[in-house]
Amino acid sequence: MAKRAIDYGKNIADGSLDPMELLSSVYEKIDASDVADDIFTVLTHDRAEEEAQASRKRRREGKLKSPLDGVPISWKDLFDTKDIATEAGSKLLEGRTPKKDCIALKRATDAGMICMGKTHMSELAFSGLGINPKAKTPPNINGTDLAPGGSSSGAGASVAQGFVSIGVGSDTGGSVRIPAAWNNLVGLKTTHGLIPNDGVVPLCPGFDTVGPLCHSVEDAWVATAIFAGMDFKIPESKPISECKFLISKTVTLDGLGEDQEAGFYDAVNKLSSAGASIEYSDIDTMNDIQALGPILFPYEAWQSWGEAIEAQPDLMFEPVKNRFLAGKDTTREQYETAWHKMLEMREIYHAQVAGYDAVLAPTVAIGPPSVTELLNDIELFQKTNLIALRNTRFFNMFGSCALTLPTSKPASGLMVVGKPLAEKDLVSVGLSIEEILNA
Please list the active-site residues.
76, 151, 175
Give SS3 for 292: coil
Q: Torsion angle, CA of 245/248/252/257, rounded to 10 degrees?
A: 70
Cα R_g (the chain), whole angstroms: 20
- C-beta atoms surrounding 155 within 10 Å: 41
Count how many residues are written for the chain: 439
Rounded CA gap, 379 and 382, in Å? Answer: 5
Cβ atoms of 364 and 392 within 8 Å: the answer is: yes
Rounded CA gap, 218 and 222, in Å? Answer: 6
Query: Nearest Cα to 235, choosing from 422, 65, 70?
Result: 422
Element (H, E) at 246: strand 244-248
Cβ atoms of 410 and 142 within 8 Å: the answer is: yes
Q: Torsion angle, CA of 272/278/281/286, rounded to 10 degrees?
A: -90
Cβ atoms of 295 and 334 within 8 Å: the answer is: yes
Dihedrals phi, psi of 296, to nearest 5 degrees: -70, -50
Rounded CA gap, 283 and 289, in Å? Answer: 11
How many CA atoms, within 13 angstroms, populate the side-chain half-sphere of residue 163? 34
List of residues 6+ apart from 147 with CB closer than 8 A: 129, 130, 131, 137, 140, 182, 368, 369, 370, 371, 374
Cβ atoms of 123 and 318 within 8 Å: the answer is: no
Cβ atoms of 260 and 412 within 8 Å: the answer is: yes
